[in-house]
Each structure stands twice: as structure tokens, then as C-alpha cells.
Amino acid sequence: MSEAPATIHFVSLGCPKNRVDTEVMLGVAQAAGCALEPDPARADFIVVNTCGFIGPAKEESIDTILDLGRLKDSGACKKLVVAGCLSQRYPSQLAEELPEVDHFLGSGDMLRLGEVLRGEGSRMMVGNPAAYTLRATDPRVLSQGRHSAYVKIAEGCNRTCSFCAIPGIRGRQRSRPVEDLVREVEALVSQGVLEVNLVSQDTIAYGRDRSERPTLAGLVKALGDVPGLRWLRLHYLYPEALTDELVELLAGHPRVVKYVDMPLQHASDRMLRRMKRGHGGQRLRRVVETVRGKIPGVTFRTAFIVGHPGETEEDFQELCDFVAWARFDRVGVFRYSDEDGTASEAQGDKVSRRESHVRHRRLMALQRPLARARNRALVGSRLEVLVDGASDEHEYVLQGRHAGQAPDIDGVVYLSGPEVSPGTMALVDITQAADYDLVGEVVLDPALPPEPRRRPRRVSLKTLPATAAPD
């Protein structure tokens, strides 16, 4: 009788870029003959792909490592592997303080997991992050369904934002060739992927580091034309003036989603200078006006940092005024935390944790009714929805997303009515809206016009008051 294959359990923390790295390690494990084990207590190998970007993410990574490390005594675990940004950033410190970890891999060492699985790897396997750039030929196993995938178009970053440690963790920007990315998207579509989400640290700067100087617009056009792809979405655009060609693609290409994800970080000129963003608030206003004016029906997502060193009440109020003016569809708000080796860490005029917390709540409370109003404007409309599968929030209910809802970070559409299969597109009449989520009735006959709901809804959404903003 043949020996049972080794089992392996993965935990992926942090951003979608990290998820792609985890999926590469899943591919390495599959190629090595390992069986994926959903229960960490029963796995021979446990791999934690960590995030080391900001304080809370680092704390989550450490807590996860410690929790899973206990399974070396109480579970089946023979090898505990820590990979990703945290081990890239603090290799010696982690090796000293975490004796339960058997192997450390850096942010560019995913393929070396094969050495660990063969019993050939050393304990410290953290290499130079700039030595690796993902390729279409690298093994990869999708981890969240077969209909949606992230595609990482570049590694690293050339920006010098004062609060950010990513260039030191991931190295300078390394864009992938257009041809390689087309091959990857073609392969994903052949597996049933309908939605591709482009990610990198600085998506707008794609191609500037390559000798042939490809453009983001050229890449988007090439990927959007891949047969069988339904949605192509762009994430992490730096706030620069968008080229006419890119705007035209966002506005009019049938498979390029009208979705702009552009972290702006602040709106005060003084704070943008302290953050070393390379521009002032007027550029941000011009970008917002361009996006709103030239891309009808666009969904605009952004993110801000509150509590950065030197932020005064006047700076924060300027940010609030900007958010009220721009009326973004989605806003993420992060509280500043000092990061080792960054320019912001050395800046004076620190904002207290309490004040940072208060400003976070105030900005979220300002944004919530704006998001609610935009959602309510969709009631009565008919939208195309990508069905993701069963909902975690409502038993026996499916959920999906319309084009203005990105996976993992935005709200969802809860589906009632006729059953539809996960991984398919469905027409849905929107019947109810809350702050971030929607409810809709699946339409089987598209010739029928939308009608008001007359019978009891199977799903009920609760709307939180604006004063109850989460931490």
C-alpha cells in the first residue's frame, strides 16, 4: 500500500498581493504531491504567509504564528513555515524570538517552499526580494473559487512615501512583460475565471521600469481583449493625471470595469508634503473631477491615513471637507502607526493614539451616509451580478457582486429568488440597500422590466446609524 501524501495547511494574511504569493506556494505544494488540509491540527506542514506593513498587521501575524506553533505539540504539525513580508523585514529577530518556527521564507522566496517540502531547506531562507518577479509559468492554485482571480502585474515600488516600508520589504518596482501577463490571464480564463483584478504596489507606474516602456493603458487593452474574460478591474492607482487612453478604456471598454481604486492618503497640502506624496490637494481635486466627469457610472474607491505626525485639527478638517465634496463610493480609513526605518517615524509632532482613534471614527461617520445614499440610488435598477456562492451572513442565501463591488474589500449583493450557480453571471433587480450591501431578486427573463417587490423579502439588511462607525 502506498504511503499517504503529506498534508499542508496555509494561512494567508494581508493584502491581495500576498494572496497571490500564497497561491503560488499552493501550486508548489501541489506539484510536490502534498494534499491541502483545511484543519491545521491535522496538517504535517503549516505555512503562514505574513503581512509586515503596519502595526496591527504585524501583531496579527505574530499572534497567528504563536497560535499555530502550539500545534507542534498538540497536533500533527512537523514543520512550521513562516513566509512573506514580516520574515523579510525582521528575519534575525523572528528567528531568535520564535524557536518553534522551522523555516523562514522572505517575500520573494515562494518557490523555495519546494526545498522545505523535500526536507532540503535550511532554517533561514530569506533572500533578496528584488531577485524574484512572478511569471505566468510559476505554479499557482486559486484559493477563492474559480471565477475570480488577482493578477499581480509588478513587484516592488519606486515611490518614497514617508510612512511606507514597502520599498524596503519588496524592493524597487519590477513590471512583468505584457506578453507574460496575457499568457497568465488566458490560462486563468481557460480555468473558468470571469473576473481579473489587477494589483501591484503602484499600478499607475506599470512599465516605467522596463526598457520597452509598456503603458498601463496598453496592458489593460491587451488583457481586456482576452476572449472569455468578463470583468477586468484595476486596483492601487497612484493619484496622477490619468492618460486619455486609460480614461477611454475605463469609460468605454466592455470588459474594463468602471472602477477606480486610488488611495489618496490625505487632502491637506501640508500633510501631503509631510507624507512625501509629491503633489498637493489641487491635483487630487483635478483627478476626482476627471474621473467623475469622464467615466460615467464610475465607482471611486480611496483610502486615507489619519493621525500622521504633524496632523492638526485644521488638517483633519480639510480632509473631512474634501471627502464631503468628493462623495466617494468607498473609503478606507487607517490610523497611522510608526514603522521602523521610515521617514515618518523620525518626524516630530506625534498625534496621540486617542486622537487618532477619534479622527478615524469621525471620518468613517462622515463617509457612512454618503455610501448609504449611493447604495440607495441603486434600488430599482437592474444590474449584472457575478455570483460568488453561499453567504456567510445569511443562511441559505447566495451572494454576489455587481461591477462596482470588488472582492474582499467592498460590500456584496444578497440574492433572493430563483437559484443560480456560483461562478456565473446573473441579472438582478436591486430591491433593498444598506450602508455597504444590497439585496436583489434574480431575474430569469431579462425581457421583463424591473418591478417593485410586493411579497416579503427573504433577506433583511440592518442599517447602522452614522454615529456607530466601527473601529
Q: Which three cell numbers stand for residue 410?
A: 467592498
* CB count in 10 Å sphere of residue 248: 16
β-bridge pairing 35-36 and 7-12: parallel
Report how far residue 318's alpha carbon sits from residue 295's, in angstroms, rounded to the nearest whole number. 26
Report how far residue 265's alpha carbon sits from residue 288's, in angstroms, rounded to the nearest whole number. 14
The string of pLDDT tens digits covering residues 174-213 is 999 999 999 999 999 999 999 999 999 999 999 999 999 9
Q: Which three cell numbers stand for residue 447?
A: 425581457
- Sequence-ordered list of residues with C-beta below 8 angstroms from that of 128, at least 6 positions apart, any chain: 108, 171
| 357 residue type, one letter | H
Q: Which fold has domain 148-376?
A: pyruvate-formate lyase- activating enzyme (3.80.30)
Share of the chain above pLDDT 90, in %: 82
Burial class (CB in 10 A: 0-12, 13-18, 19+), 127: middle
Q: Assign 77 to helix, strand or coil.
A: coil
Q: Tell me the C-alpha to C-alpha distance, in Å, between residue 470 and each of 9, 261, 375.
A: 31, 22, 19
Report how far residue 255's alpha carbon sits from residue 204's, in angstroms, rounded to the nearest whole number. 19
pLDDT of residue 4: 80
Is the pLDDT at 458 greater than 80, yes or no?
A: no
Phi/psi at 109 (nearest 5 deg)? -115, 25
What mean pLDDT comes out for the span 262-278?
96
Report how far residue 72's alpha carbon sits from residue 80's, in angstroms, rounded to the nearest whole number. 8
Q: Tell me the C-alpha to C-alpha distance, in Å, between residue 433 and each of 152, 309, 373, 401.
A: 33, 38, 9, 13
The string of pLDDT tens digits covering residues 285-339 is 999 999 999 999 999 999 999 999 999 999 999 999 999 999 999 999 999 999 9
Torsion, Cα of 86, 89, 92, 93 (10° steps): -60
- Long-range contacts at 57-62 (CB < 8 A, ≥ 24 apart): 57/13, 57/14, 58/86, 60/13, 61/13, 61/14, 61/86, 62/86
Report how far residue 257's alpha carbon sits from residue 234's, in angstroms, rounded to the nearest whole number. 8
- Label residue 52 by pLDDT band (50, 70, 90): confident
Is the pLDDT at 452 greater than 70, yes or no?
A: no
Domain boundaries, the chain: 7-131, 148-376, 382-468
Q: What is the CATH number of domain 382-468?
A: 2.40.50.140
The string of pLDDT tens digits covering residues 351-394 is 999 999 999 999 999 999 999 999 999 999 999 999 999 887 77
Indicate the DSSP class of residue 449. Answer: P
Q: Largest Cα–Cα distance of the chain, in whole Å?
A: 73
DSSP string, 152-168: E-EES-----TT--HHH
Burial class (CB in 10 A: 0-12, 13-18, 19+), 446: exposed
Task: Name the superfamily (CATH) of residues 7-131.
Answer: Methylthiotransferase, N-terminal domain (3.40.50.12160)
- β-bridge mates for residue 134, sequence order: none
Report how far residue 153's alpha carbon sits from residue 415's, in angstroms, rounded to the nearest whole number. 33
User: How big, in percent rounded to 5, are the helix, strand and coil portions of the chain?
Assistant: 35, 20, 45
**Residue 331 · residue 304 · CB < 8 Å:** yes
Report how far residue 220's alpha carbon sits from residue 233's, in angstroms, rounded to the nearest whole number. 9
Q: Assign 67 to helix, strand or coil.
A: helix
What is the number of alpha carbons within 13 Å of residue 447 lying toward its C-beta? 0
pLDDT of residue 255: 97
Length of the chain: 471
The string of pLDDT tens digits covering residues 199-251 is 999 999 999 999 999 999 999 999 999 999 999 999 999 998 899 999 999 99
For residue 105, which of 131, 82, 77, 121 has the smallest C-alpha distance? Answer: 82
* The domains spanning 148-376 and 382-468 adopt the same CATH topology: no
